[in-house]
Amino acid sequence: MRLALSILMLGAALSLAAMQARAQTPPRAQQDPQTKAAPQPAQTPAAPQQGAAPQAPAEPKPEPKLALDSRALPLGGTLRAPALWQAYKSHFITNEGRVVDTGNNDISHSEGQGYAMLLAVAANDRTMFERLWGWTRANLMVRDDELIAWRWEPRKRPGVADLNNASDGDILVAWALAEAAELWGDLSYRTAARRIAVEVARKVVLFKTKIGAILLPAVSGFHADDRADGPIVNLSYYVFPAFARLPLVAPEVDWVGLTQTGLDLLDMTRTTPQALPPDWMSLKDWKYAPAQGFPPQFSYNAVRVPLYLAWAGIGEREQYAPFMALVVRTRGALSIVDVATGKDIGSFGETGIGAIGALTACAFEGSKAPPQLLASHSDENYYPATLHMLALVAMQMRYPSCLRK
């Protein structure tokens, strides 16, 4: 199956390259197919007049803007792949509603619960949503505030040994609850979503900095007071499609400002036209550098940045260009990249993450998705399988033309 996917990804990449070549070739003059245009006499360039200033070379035409749709679209019912959702549930969600990270010692975490809750709303599966939310409340909402403990381990008692949160998990759960409230008209979901969203704004967002609203990865461990190279941010925690919808429950929070800072941070990492963002960034003295103590890599975290950009329908051509270059270079599979050298240093190993490559190509130039985007891969672990599902939802929700034959 992986060989077939690689072949199809190769075909997709060759198609992308062909489309790029066509985009760079000026179109031929159109003519009536029934009549030939009369031959034109050769034009002799006029001799420049004496004393005339030499003409400056023509300025290159700017690249056209991306045709993106950034409307705040509802999530409910957008997943139109019931067989994929059934397979996902059977592989990764227990009867109690716990999402199992099969590639990480079967732990559970707030991120996984939030992703699955979003997928349940997208699939219009309220029964599973209730199980997921019930398990999350009972097992991860054990802090003394409205935020969510980030990790639960099945072989330890208590299951939560670290009470720190993860801001992306909080945001994902709050977004899922807000969407559920709108889809199913349940006030309790709305109330819970608001409590989490307001607490995120109060405890992990630094709104008044020199470079805008900074989202910290957690309450503890990432402030300037916590680390010599702090504050530290993770750009993949800026869940752009969530920021567009959380005004449903917390309109007083500056989600627009948070989105703009995320885009500005992405621009800061683009030290060359094709430079990719690292998983972890230092903003010491409000200047960008890869964070100390973390590999300076575009890897399992930062690979979500193009997913969230395309899902929200935001961003400019130059912000997508490094990701698109990676799609072409890796034939759609994506790869782990050393951000200092720009060199590929490893593969993700499982094909699900390649769905983000297909989504990126779709948003960037309207490329058709490979058939495997609608196929289930039973041998995949939780994380690549989840990113595959999210990329599919994003495409069905915002780019349906890329799925048409």
Are 319 and 310 a contacting pair, CB within 8 Å?
Answer: no
Q: Which two tokens stand for residue 235?
A: 């750009």
Question: Greatest CA span in the chain, whole angstroms?
Answer: 91
186 catalytic per annotation: no
Nearest partner of 82 among 130, 120, 134, judged by Cα: 120
Exposed, middle or buried by CB within 10 Å (0-12, 13-18, 19+), for 279? buried
Which entry of 101, 125, 146, 168 is annotated as an active-site residue? 168
Residue 30 falls in which region: left (phi positive, over 0), alpha (psi -120 to 50) or beta:
beta
Q: Which two tokens stand for residue 263?
A: 């885009």
365 catalytic per annotation: no
Q: Which two tokens stand for residue 281?
A: 């960034």
Q: Which two tokens stand for residue 264?
A: 């500005």
Are 305 and 269 a contacting pair, CB within 8 Å?
Answer: no
Peptide bond into 295 cis (omega under 30): no
Q: Which two tokens stand for residue 159?
A: 């299951």
CA distance 91 to 386: 11
Catalytic residue numbers read 111, 168
